[in-house]
Structure 1
Amino acid sequence: MKIHTHQIPKIGKIKVSLDATIGIAQSRGERPYQEDFVALSSLTFKHKQLTKTITRAQDYQKLIANNQAKFRKRIVPSTSNNDTEDFQSLFVAVIDGHGGTDSAKYLSNNLSRIITETDPIIDIPKAIREYRSIGGYFRRFRGGYLEELANQIYLAHPQKSSSSTVTTEEKEKEEELVIGIDERIHLSYLLADQDLIKTYPKSGAVMTSIIMTSLPVEESPESGNIIYPYFQSTRLSLVVAHVGDTVLYCVRLTMGKWGGSLANSRGLGDAAFKALGVTVTTEEKEKEEELVIGIDERIHLSYLLADQDLIKTYPKSGAVMTSIIMTSLPVEESPESGNIIYPYFQSTRLSLVVAHVGDTVALLCSADDGKVSVLTENHHPDSRVESDRLRRIGTGLITDSFGESRWGGSLANSRGLGDAAFKALGVTGEPDIINKIINGKDWEFLILVSDGISNMLTNQEIIDLCKQIKSPKDASKKVVEFAESLGGRDNMTAIVIPLYNWNNPDSIDHTVQRREFRLNQIHAQTGSARQNRIAYHFLQINSIVVLKRKD
Structure 2
Amino acid sequence: MSHHAHPFNIRNALRAVFAPTSSPRPSISQRRAFHEYFVTHLPSSSLSPDKQHANHHRLPRDESSPHSGPSRRPAQLAQQPAVSRDTTIVRIPIKSAKHHFGAGVSRGSRPYNEDTYQAGTIEMPAFAKRQPVSLTRTLPGQGGAAGGQAAKSESGDPQVFYFGVFDGHGGSECSEFLRDRLHGYIEEAALLFGMDSSLRNDSSADASSLDSEGGIMGEQDAEDLQKSLVSTWRETVGGYFKRFKPEYFPAVSNYSSAEPPSTLNNSSIETVLAYAFLKADLDFTTAQASKHTNAERERSSIDDPVLADRPLNDNDVLFQDDRPASQNLRAPRKGSSPDLAAPIGGAQRFKGGSTASVALISTPTPVPFWHPASPSTLIVAHAGDTRILLSRTSDGKALPLTTNHHPDAPVEANRLRRYAASFVTDSFGEERMGGLANTRAFGDIGSKRLGVSAEPQITRVDLNPAEYSFVVMVSDGVSGHLTDQEIVDVVKESRTPAQGAADLAGFAVEVAEEADNATALVVRLGGWERRNEGGGGSLGTKEQRDYRRQEAMDPRARRQ
* Normalised TM-score (structure 1): 0.59
Corresponding residue SS for 1:139: helix
2:238 equivalent to 1:132: no
2:294 equivalent to 1:298: no
Give 1:369's match in structure 2, choosing from 395, 411, 427: 395
- Measured after TM superposition, the shift of residue 391 of structure 1 is 2.3
Corresponding residue SS for 1:316: coil
Contact 1:345 1:498 in 2 (8 A): no
Q: Distance in 2 between matches of 1:484 and 1:397?
A: 30
Partner of 1:38: 117
- Measured after TM superposition, the shift of residue 420 of structure 1 is 1.1
Q: Distance in 2 between matches of 1:84 and 1:458?
A: 40
Partner of 2:543: 513
Corresponding residue SS for 1:20: coil
Q: Distance in 2 between matches of 1:440 and 1:479?
A: 26
Partner of 2:301: none
- Measured after TM superposition, the shift of residue 32 of structure 1 is 1.4
Q: Distance in 1 between matches of 2:454 and 2:110?
A: 26
> Using CA pairs below 8 Å that are at least 6 residues apart, which structure has the higher relative contact order?
1
- Measured after TM superposition, the shift of residue 524 of structure 1 is 3.7
Partner of 1:310: 284
Q: Which of 1 and 2 has greater Rg?
A: 1
Contact 2:420 2:433 in 1 (8 A): no
- Measured after TM superposition, the shift of residue 441 of structure 1 is 1.2
Corresponding residue SS for 2:124: strand
How many residue pairs are counted as aligned between the two chains? 355
Q: Distance in 2 between matches of 1:76 and 1:127?
A: 43
Q: Distance in 2 between matches of 1:319 and 1:453?
A: 16
2:161 equivalent to 1:90: yes
2:522 equivalent to 1:493: no
Question: 5+ unaligned residues in a row in structure 1: which ranges?
Answer: 56-69, 153-262, 264-290, 331-339, 533-551
Question: 5+ unaligned residues in a row in structure 2: which ranges?
Answer: 1-38, 45-86, 139-152, 194-221, 256-264, 289-349
Q: Distance in 2 between matches of 1:320 and 1:76?
A: 42
2:140 equivalent to 1:114: no
Residues 501 and 151 of structure 1: CA distance in aligned 2, closer, same or farther (over 3 Å): closer
Residues 151 and 453 of structure 1: CA distance in aligned 2, closer, same or farther (over 3 Å): closer
Per-residue CA deviations over 1:423-471 (Å, capped at 9, x if unaligned) read 1101111010001211141111010000001111111100000114221
Q: Distance in 1 between matches of 2:281 and 2:373?
A: 33
2:384 equivalent to 1:384: no
- Measured after TM superposition, the shift of residue 12 of structure 1 is 7.8
Matched to 2:438, the amino acid is: N
- Measured after TM superposition, the shift of residue 393 of structure 1 is 2.2
Q: Distance in 2 between matches of 1:72 and 1:388?
A: 45
2:93 equivalent to 1:22: no
Residues 73 and 377 of structure 1: CA distance in aligned 2, closer, same or farther (over 3 Å): farther
Q: Distance in 2 between matches of 1:34 and 1:344?
A: 31
Matched to 1:372, the amino acid is: A
Correspondence list, 1:127-276, <5 A: 127-133=229-235, 134-142=237-245, 144-149=246-251
- Measured after TM superposition, the shift of residue 14 of structure 1 is 5.5
2:386 equivalent to 1:360: yes
Per-residue CA deviations over 1:484-520 (Å, capped at 9, x if unaligned) read 2113520000000010111425251110011111222
2:323 equivalent to 1:323: no
Q: Distance in 1 between matches of 2:472 and 2:100?
A: 13
Partner of 2:552: 522
Per-residue CA deviations over 1:294-333 (Å, capped at 9, x if unaligned) read 2222122111011111112245121001110011123xxx
Q: Distance in 1 between matches of 2:478 and 2:358?
A: 17
- Measured after TM superposition, the shift of residue 44 of structure 1 is 3.0
Matched to 2:362, the amino acid is: T
Per-residue CA deviations over 1:194-250 (Å, capped at 9, x if unaligned) read xxxxxxxxxxxxxxxxxxxxxxxxxxxxxxxxxxxxxxxxxxxxxxxxxxxxxxxxx
Q: Distance in 2 between matches of 1:464 and 1:74?
A: 33
Contact 1:41 1:112 in 2 (8 A): no
Contact 1:310 1:318 in 2 (8 A): no
Correspondence list, 1:532-551, <5 A: none
- Measured after TM superposition, the shift of residue 24 of structure 1 is 0.4
Q: Distance in 2 between matches of 1:12 and 1:88?
A: 14
Residues 370 and 90 of structure 1: CA distance in aligned 2, closer, same or farther (over 3 Å): same
Residues 434 and 367 of structure 1: CA distance in aligned 2, closer, same or farther (over 3 Å): same
Structure having the higher helix fraction is 1
Corresponding residue SS for 1:320: strand
